[in-house]
Amino acid sequence: MYISTNHITSIRKNTILGIIVLTFIVLVGRLYYLQIVKGPRYRDIAEANRVRLVPIEAPRGIIYDRNGLILLDNKSQYNINVIPFELSHTPNTDSNLACILKLAREQLSQRIKNNWRGQFVPIKVAADVDLATLMTLEEHKIDLPGVYYSIEPIRYSPSGVHLSQVLGYVREIGKDDLLRVEGLGYKKEDLIGWRGVERQYESILRGIRGYTYIQVDALGREIGRLRDRQNLPPQPGNDLYLTIDRDLQLLVESLMENRKGAAIVLDANTGEILSMVSKPDYPPEVFSGVISAELWNKLRTDPDQPLYNRATQGTYPPGSTFKIVAVLTALGKKAVEPNWSVFCTGQYRLGRRIFKCWEAKGHGRMNLHDAIVHSCNVYFYNLIRHEELDDWANMAKLFQFGKVTNIDLPSESPGVLPDVAFLNKKYGENGWTDGNKLNLVIGQGDVLTTPIQMARFCAALATRGKLVQPHVGLKYFDKKSDQMISFEFKSDSISSISSSSWEFLEQAMFDVVEMGTGRAAKVKGALVGGKTGTAQNPHGEAHAWFIGYLKEPQQTIALAILIEHGKSGGGIAAQIAGKIFNFLHQQSRIQLVAANAEPLYPHN
């Protein structure tokens, strides 16, 4: 028998055995890495090859006026989307798609790059395509794997009102905005409320996106819906009701057409804004769907600033409307008696300077009541010499001038209310004189206010000191709880002004409309008080102001009208106010919005 001797040494044997064991360890480790560590990733990739997740955009909540009439609704827009993985792995698909969409191939590639979120995440490459383009895509569907259309709800206004700066608009969310709303479920290409009510009440109006699961083959072609997964339907946003009265808004917009300025009408007791107009404005359909870069730049650079809300952001000298502050200061501090009189010759001399009255020939003998009714500048030049500037400023601060009103709209200006500290800082302690006071008392110089501040001021005068928070939000219908939820807003009151001062001022404001500078606002059979103002403007004709209120048994309505370059407040501004008051009085709109006349809401 032949016996072979094994000459393999133990070292060689152990080395070979070690290599074999190490190989198996590597294989097992790699298997563990692929199956356990990277398993979810590859499972997602495999699933993405089989399943296409198609998002369904949720419509935003409908916006109604106070009476349940639609101000802003939704309509459908067709968008074109691509799956990057499927698009890039099929020859000529991108060039065919670019040709159909009438885009350069580089443009298409850039859009995909800018909105990239993953190989299998859909990217919108074209928005608001027409039906002809959509039909062409459907005809060539077999040659365009990874390309599909989606339906997106966009805003439109069926009501006929503009209400542009109040409603605002939505736009695609940007990178900086994504950081601001991180964790709230937003992603690239989402629409977000950007101005006005759309922004202020974004969390209420925004819906929740839904998804559809579609099964596709290896080439990305749709082969049916998945039975093992349930589609997630989109959840529409909550419906919002505004304090706006559509019919009144239509009237005020027509009265302000072809003018520059702002008009605000509100309930003096609640702060509910029945109408807000800022002109020039823009039709709401401008921002329905995709707005071209050319149109956007035109709106943004328009010297008339149609995107600018003059009602809340515009700051103007208040003119003679601000004389009321000096009246209340004088009555409160007993600086003069109501029967204290001044003879107006049409001008007032202070040192070497001449301060003129608007009535060149003079008003003659004026007491406090007459000076308010006829808005005599000379009287108030004399009056402010009997008042301390800080007393005057403190009275204005009671009405919260120099502060925002906290209206429920984004971007509000606080205005400017000068006091001694302000003038000392601006001009130096010896740099200003009584001449500054003479300008301030008639609403000129350094004092600046917004139309919304003046509307609230007028509401406080009408209610003898009630300071409301102006607002456009009324209530919303919560679809999750199936109930209507009302908004709550704060109000304050001024208690330091005596009832006798209120009575005196109220009578004077009624007489301004009855026989003074505000006669154009008079309404037959109605109780109307007001005050006109003409604010000098270094850039052209003077701005025209009118603030006033209509008192009815069930409700008191206050308003503020500003017409840029409108010359005299007793002219066009008072005329517009008169037409608004006449509409409210004659058409019984007050009864419609009163608490005992509940409107019929769609959700009742």
3-state helix, strand, coil in the chain (%, to 5): 40, 20, 40
Q: Identify whether the C-beta of residue 178 lies closer than 8 Å to the C-beta of residue 196.
A: no
3-state secondary structure at position 545? strand
pLDDT of residue 218: 61
CA-CA distances (angstroms) from residue 596 to 269, 485, 593? 15, 19, 8
What CA–CA distance (Å, rounded) separates 127 from 375?
A: 57
Q: Quote the Cα angle for 352-358-362, to 5°.
A: 80
Pair 129, 80: CB distance under 8 Å? yes
Look up the CATH number of domain 57-213+236-242: 3.90.1310.10
CB 330 within 8 A of CB 501: no
Local structure of 348: helix, strand or coil = strand
Please give the DSSP secondary-structure letter assigned to residue 287. G
Phi, psi of 505, rounded to the nearest 5 degrees: -65, -40
Contact call for residues 193 and 203 (beta carbons, < 8 A): no
CATH class of 319-592: alpha beta
Which residues lie closer than 8 Å to 443 by C-beta, 6 or more apart?
Answer: 317, 318, 319, 320, 321, 322, 323, 533, 535
Residue with tokens 């995107």: 307
Q: What is the pLDDT of residues 131-163, one digit of tens each?
A: 888 888 888 887 788 788 888 788 888 888 999
pLDDT at residue number 556: 94
- Cβ contact 52:83 at 8 Å: yes
Q: Indicate the domain borders of the chain.
A: 57-213+236-242, 319-592
Q: Calculate helix-pair angle for 323-333, 377-384, nearest 10 degrees.
A: 40
In our burial notation (b when 16+ CB lie closer than 10 A, e otherwise), range 305-330 reads bbbbbbbbbbbbbbbbbbbbbbbbbb
Residues 228 and 218: their CA atoms lie apart, in Å, by 19
Phi, psi of 549 (to 5 degrees): -145, 150
**Confidence (pLDDT) at 459:** 98
Residue 545 β-bridge partners: 533, 562
Distance (Å, rounded) from C-alpha 544 to C-alpha 316? 10
| Single-letter residue type at 400 | Q
Query: How far apart, in whole angstroms, are the C-alpha atoms of residue 115 and residue 104?
Result: 17
Would you state the pLDDT for residue 589? 46
Give the three-class secondary structure for 531.
strand
Residues 22, 537: Cα–Cα separation, whole Å: 90
Tell me, rounded to whole angstroms, the distance of Cα 62 from its chain centroid. 16
The CA-CA-CA angle for residues 332, 556, 273, to 5°, reads: 105
Predicted confidence at residue 50, as pLDDT, reads 66
Predicted local confidence at residue 539, as pLDDT: 77
Q: What is the pLDDT of residue 592?
A: 47
Taking residue 438's Cβ as centre, other Cβ atoms within 10 Å add up to 21
Longest dimension (CA), the chain: 151
Q: Which residues pair with 2 in a beta bridge?
A: none
Q: What is the pLDDT of residue 290?
A: 64
Would you state the structure tokens that stand for residue 180, as one six-digit string?
A: 């601001």
Partners of residue 347 on adjacent β-strands: 356
Q: Which CA distances in Å does 114 have to 107, 110, 118, 147, 307?
A: 10, 6, 12, 18, 28
CA distance 281 to 299: 10
- Return the SS3 of 138: helix
Nearest to 201 by CA among 476, 469, 411: 476
Query: In 471-480, which positions are buried (b, 16+ CB within 10 angstroms) versus exposed (e)?
Result: bbbbbbbeee
* Residue 17 backbone phi and psi in degrees, to 5: -60, -40
Selection from 195, 174, 266, 351 nearest residue 549 by Cα: 266
CB 137 within 8 A of CB 149: yes
pLDDT lower than 70: segments of the chain: 1-8, 38, 41-50, 52, 88-91, 120, 216-228, 289-292, 588-604
Answer whether 107's CB lies under 8 Å from 98's CB: yes
Please tell me the distance from the alpha carbon of residue 468 to that of residue 272, in angstroms, as a whole number.
Answer: 9
**Do β-strands 170-172 and 147-156 pair in parallel, antiparallel, or remain unpaired?**
unpaired
Placement of tokens 């709230």 in the chain: 184
Q: Looking up tokens 């943004």, which residue turns up? A: 300
Cβ count near 261 (within 10 Å): 26
